[in-house]
Structure 1
């Protein structure tokens, strides 16, 4: 059966100069994976044709454009600018095929504010942020000016996981990887870090202060769904702890957040359809089909694997949703979301 048409909000590009920067800065096995995946415009167009992807919204994946905590800010600014200009050129050349989430040279806030304006002038569809920047998580006060600007713009913010980090003494940063290099970081640390930064955005008040910002959480929210009740109820159950309004969080999730379906959001056993992570999210926490978006995670999910997951998603969505709802998840929600004006 042919795959339904779709818009891919979670797909990546790796221009040659970015791959070179990864290699120079010690990321030849990026995030503990066996190798940097191959990417080309031709290969991207091929997966789009095979999976019936009408449009891909491109972004730089982990580790982003700030490749080491000791890199000069000027180097990070330059790499970020080149990546955004490359994506903008693809959008100009293929306006019906590509959009892009612009990267920012964080944690350099003044430079990031300048890049926001440059990327908007080039036609970016929103902004891609890593879950943390060398231990500074998105709810940290250092990023308040960025989110204030996003709120002014009514910006769309795509959050991508990266390796968890933490600050140590004397301003140094270290990986927060208790299991070291025994497992590739995307296997489970990515989905933990997505939930960590999402919860921090709520607890820090960032979401409250930014009602005009719309967020996209990857991989169906990572491990956020089973933590929702825990972090919203904690203040009421533990005297003296920081509380949060559970009803407000549920409302904000339903109005300001989208969830992309990249990765293994359905149970993997043969013959099992409709069960797994996505079912827990939509049935367990009453998340509307209108908040779901398709994502391939190409090329970090290779062509063959992306097709396997696309077919599994087709079967799983048929089990959970009506034909009209499935059309919205694949395409309609993204069309509405991307074309909403602030």
Structure 2
């Protein structure tokens, strides 16, 4: 049976010049994976046909476009510009097939503000941010001007995890207790997503940016089981920083989406509806209206993407009615992408 039609909000592109930049900057085994995945337009379209993906929103995955600490800002800005221009050209040539989340040359805030305007002019659908930029995490005050601009624009922000990092005596230092013992995407990605999002809440960034819509990958990673802990901590430990649990829940229901890339369902026979997604939607009352499809292609290779797509079909059939499944696969994304990105007038540049 054919898979239901779907919009893919979490898929990646690696143009040849970006592949070369990864190799030149020591990322031949990107994030500890065996190799940099091959990507081509034809290969992407083949996956889209096989999985019945009507549209793919492309982005640059980890490690983003700032490939090593202390790189000259001009080099980061140049690579970012080339990636966004490449994606914009794909969208122009295949407007029904592709959109893109634009990368930014962070942590250079001024260059990023300028790139926001260029990418908007080229028709980006929103912006892709890494969870941290060499140890500076989303929610850090240095990024406040970026989020203020996003708020003016009513922007959509896709957050993608990268390798955890910390500042040690002013120098970026990998925060990997197991070293290179495990590929970083196995679990460090999932932890880093939660780390960044919790910082966005505690820093007040989400409060200050009610017009920003966030897309969280991999079903929110480990954020859901941490929700009660980080929202209740202030009430239970009065000396600590507090946060209003009801406000956080409201913001999650109005400003946040969760994509379903990865292993959100168990793969064993007889447990098709069990796993991470069931815990999210039933444990924390997350509406089906906040869920989106994601393939994570090509970092999830074609064969694996098809296995996960079929597993997801069985799992969603178990958890949701057809009308709800249609929304998860396609309608939620279409509604998200139709949202006005910019209110003309005050705040426009």
TM-score class, shorter: over 0.9
1:83 aligns with 2:83: yes
Give the Cα–Cα distance (whole angstroms) in 1 for the partners of residues 49 and 230 of structure 2: 42
1:258 aligns with 2:257: yes
Give the Cα–Cα distance (whole angstroms) in 1 for the partners of residues 86 and 279 of structure 2: 38
Alignment: residue pair count:
341
Deviation at 1:267, TM superposition (A): 1.1
Alignment-derived partner of residue 346 in structure 2: none
Alignment-derived partner of residue 35 in structure 1: 35
Give the Cα–Cα distance (whole angstroms) in 2 for the partners of residues 62 and 261 of structure 1: 18
Q: Which one is further off, 77-86 or 266-275?
A: 266-275
Deviation at 1:271, TM superposition (A): 2.7
- Length-normalised TM-score, structure 1: 0.99
Give the Cα–Cα distance (whole angstroms) in 2 for the partners of residues 18 and 341 of structure 1: 30
Alignment-derived partner of residue 47 in structure 2: 47
Alignment of 1:248-327 (within 5 A): 248-327=247-326
Give the Cα–Cα distance (whole angstroms) in 2 for the partners of residues 9 and 25 of structure 1: 28
SS at match of 1:101: strand
SS at match of 1:247: helix
Deviation at 1:25, TM superposition (A): 0.1
Give the Cα–Cα distance (whole angstroms) in 2 for the partners of residues 47 and 271 of structure 1: 27
Alignment of 1:1-342 (within 5 A): 1-169=1-169, 171-342=170-341
Give the Cα–Cα distance (whole angstroms) in 2 for the partners of residues 2 and 183 of structure 1: 36
Give the Cα–Cα distance (whole angstroms) in 1 for the partners of residues 327 and 291 of structure 2: 8
Give the Cα–Cα distance (whole angstroms) in 2 for the partners of residues 224 and 296 of structure 1: 20
Give the Cα–Cα distance (whole angstroms) in 2 for the partners of residues 47 and 35 of structure 1: 20
Give the Cα–Cα distance (whole angstroms) in 2 for the partners of residues 199 and 138 of structure 1: 9
Deviation at 1:270, TM superposition (A): 2.4
SS at match of 1:180: coil
SS at match of 1:57: strand
Deviation at 1:268, TM superposition (A): 2.1
Alignment-derived partner of residue 345 in structure 2: none
Q: C-alpha deviations, 1:257-283, integer Å up to 9, x for none? A: 000000000012223111100000000
Deviation at 1:126, TM superposition (A): 0.0
**CA RMSD of the aligned region, Å?**
0.5
SS at match of 1:299: coil
SS at match of 1:58: strand
Flag as ranges the 4+ runs of structure 1 deviating above 6 A. Answer: none
Deviation at 1:340, TM superposition (A): 1.1
SS at match of 1:99: strand
Q: C-alpha deviations, 1:112-162, integer Å up to 9, x for none? A: 000000000000000000000000000000000000000000000000000
Alignment-derived partner of residue 347 in structure 2: none
SS at match of 2:149: helix
